Every structure is written in C-alpha cells, then in structure tokens.
Amino acid sequence: MIHRKRKQAVSRRALLAGAAAIGTLPARVAFAQPAEPLKIGFLTVDTGPLAAGGKQQEEGAALFLQERGGMIAGRKVDLIRQDTAGNTSLARTKTQELVERYKVPVIIGPLATNEALAMDGYIRQTKVPLITTTSAATVDLKAHPVNPWVLHAFGTAPQVTFPLGDYAAKTLGYKRMAIVAEDFTYGYEGAGGFQLAFEAAGGKIVQKLWPPLNAPEYAPYLAQIKTDIDGIYMGFAGINPLRFLKQFSDYGLKAKLAVLGNTTSTDEGILKLMGDEAVGVYSAGWYAAGLDTPDNKKFVAGINAAYHHDPGFYTAGPYTALLIIEQALASTGGNTADAAAFLKALREVRLTHGPIGPVHLDEYGTPILDISIRKVARVNGKLENTILKTYPQVSQFWTYDPAQFVKQPPFSRDFPPSKYLE
C-alpha cells in the first residue's frame, strides 16, 4: 500500500490507486519478517518546478506494483512516498523520516542528482540502501569516496554522451562542432563526455557557450553560435530544451546546423510539448519509448493505457529500481532483516528484462547498460525518438581504463581542456 499525508488531494491518491490500497498503517518494527508488508521509501517531487518529472516517477512505480498486484517476493508492498520538492535540505529531512519513523529497509529516488548527493552522508551513517533514479554523478573519489549503500538505476551523464560523440564523428562524419550547455554540473558532465569521445574520434570542439540554468532567453548565445560548423551539442534539462530549440529555430539556425543533445533534451516527458523544431534532433539515452523489445512494448502499453502518453526515462527509473529490489529479494527469500546480505544481493543483481534492457552494476554501484542513439521524427503524426543504433553494455568509463579515469579532474568548464577553440 502507499502512505499518503491526510491533506493530500484525492487526485493524487487516484494517480497510484492501481498500485495498492491507500491507508495509513501503524508503525512496525524495523526490518520485519517476510510475513509483514515490505516497506519501501520513495522520494519523489510533487511540488515545485520538478513536479512533472515526479509525476512520471510515480506512474512508473504505480505500473510496476499494479502488474504484480502490489506484491514483491510474496510480501505486500507498503510504498511510503515523500515529497522533496526538489530541495536538498528537504530531501535529507524526508530521508531521515523514512529511516527513523517508518523504519524502511530500502529507499528509491530522489529525482535530482544534487538531492542524492545531499543525502550521501546520512545514508553512509544509517546504512539503509538507496537506489537512485537520477543521472548518477561521475565517480570522483577525491571528493566523494564510494558509498557502498548507494546504487544507481541509471548511468552517468557522460555515459550517455560518450556514444553520442563517437556517433557524431564516425557515423555522421561531423568534423567541427560547438557546445551549448547549461552552466552547472549536469551540463559540464554531458558536454565533457561528448567532447572526449568526439575529439578521440577525430572531431574538434571549436566553441563552448554556457548559458545559466535560469537564462531568461537564449538570444545572446544564439547570436554567438558559429555557422561554419557541422552542428551543436546542446546540454539542457527540464523545460529548457523546449525553450532553446524553439528559439534556435526562430533564429533561423535549424536549417543551417545539426543539433545533438543529451538524454533530457528530447525525453518523452518534454517531447510531447515540442513541435517541428525538435524534428531531426539527435540524442542518446538509456531509455526511449521506441525501444523495440517485448518488455518495453509492454511497459509503454501499460503507461499508455493508464495515463494516455508515452513513458520517459523518469518513468523507467522507479520501475527499474523496483525490478532490482524484486530480484534481490528473490535471492534472499524475501527477507530484508540481514541488511548486509540484502545489500550484497542488491549489488549482485543482473537484470535481463525490463524497459531499459540488460543491466548490471559495476564496482562503484553504477550500471553498465545499453545506450541508444535516437533521432526525433514524426511517426503517425506524433513525435518519437526513433532508434538509429544501440551501443551495447556501455560502462561509465567508456573505453578508458577505470583506474586512470577516476584520477582525472571532475568535469567542469575547464575539463576536458579545450584544444581547438577558435
């Protein structure tokens, strides 16, 4: 069942009604026996600018539980949802509430990477496994030693853009490109991965522009984009890809330059709001509604039937996290009482099914998974991310030696260094 706050609107309760009955149960002893309901903490976003992604997360979790009659490993699931509002301080407070009040043995979420980083110390202290549904931060052992209690349902930002940069040079034949990416960590990481792979394959990044996350408009940056290049890499998230692509097209650049973007650039959650300005945009991601597998077709059909739109990677996140929990509990007989044994089972999961395809974790708790190159096209009148190529089982380290990769500086405006700027 799913816990709700008493003042929560009926419409919110209806959202997850298919998952399980709604109610408030009395607190139980931590790490109860398998006969007891299985408590799972769920950090998501109901309010604030990230609420649209939070709604998608809830839909993914609801579908998973609906398909299983609200059960995992023979135990009724008690999904205890908490709204972080996308706020790092609130995310830590809600995590503490899940652990100390509700005694959950495992948590999924939150939505944003900075929230997960803010929770890291508390998770280390309490040793309650957290399966994040964000884009994992690139390993930086100098600043953040590996937390064995944190696992990732998704990969890192550069894990997606490494293949995109490789594809741009080797398949599309692009030689000279510019980067236009948001001036914060997620923007740096996606742009950095693209640059490394693109230049390793013979291309050159000749320009970099860094709009702030809250840029009121992009005209000052659009005016600077070189036109004697093959295209641009754009690194945007939230509503900003919609705003940027519309202004890019209005500025007359769509007919002149190709656009390649990170996974959030044309995720299905924002793609449904876009128009012809998105047609032809290349992107890369670990999920797309158009993935042609039986498991994903079933997943898409379930979301279509319940919510009348396609799922995106936010939707697939909690669904995949719950798959990891389900498989881990299959090996522990449904028992979470032995926290160390449960963690070991989680880390050893090898998913062979699910909407994003085969997944297993590396030694840092980050998944190795397929990355698809996508291109936006109209299919039966609807915009879709059509699949052009799949890079199988991509590591967060791409083709680099992990021991050397973790020693490099974190991605930033200055790393990787710009050798070809004009």
The three-point CA angle 217-220-224 to 5° equals 135
Question: What confidence tier does 211 reach under pLDDT thresholds 50, 70, 90?
Answer: very high
Asked if residue 14 has pLDDT above 90, the reply is no
Measured distance CA(287)–CA(153) in Å, rounded: 12
pLDDT band at 160 (very low <50, low <70, confident <90, very high): very high
* Confidence band for 181, pLDDT divided at 50, 70 and 90: very high
pLDDT number for residue 17: 39
Asked if 104 contacts 80 with a C-beta cutoff of 8 angstroms, the reply is: yes
Residue 25's pLDDT is what? 35
- For 366, counting Cβ atoms within 10 Å of its Cβ (0-12 exposed, 13-18 middle, 19+ buried), the class is buried
- Statement: 157-291+370-405 belongs to CATH 3.40.50.2300: yes
Q: Give pLDDT, residue 24.
A: 34
The third-level CATH classification (topology) of the domain covering 2-128+293-355 is Rossmann fold (3.40.50)
Q: How confident is the model at residue 34 (pLDDT cuts 50, 70, 90)?
A: very low
Dump pLDDT digits (tens) for 58-70. 999 999 999 999 9
Q: What is the per-residue pLDDT across 323-363, written as a single tens digit (0 to 9) for each?
A: 999 999 999 999 999 999 999 999 999 999 999 989 999 98
Say if residue 28's pLDDT is above 90: no
If we measure between CA atoms, which residue out of 140, 194, 187, 185 comes closest to residue 167? Answer: 194
2-128+293-355 and 157-291+370-405: same fold? yes
Is a pLDDT exceeding 50 seen at residue 4? Answer: no
Residue 94 is predicted with a pLDDT of: 97
Phi, psi dihedrals of residue 2, rounded to the nearest 5° = -115, 120
Choose the weakest-confidence range: 20-24, 155-159, 271-275.
20-24
Give the confidence band of 184 by pLDDT, cuts at 50, 70, 90: confident
| Domain chopping of the chain, boundaries | 2-128+293-355, 157-291+370-405
Residues 6+ apart with CB under 8 A from 218: 211, 243, 244, 247, 248
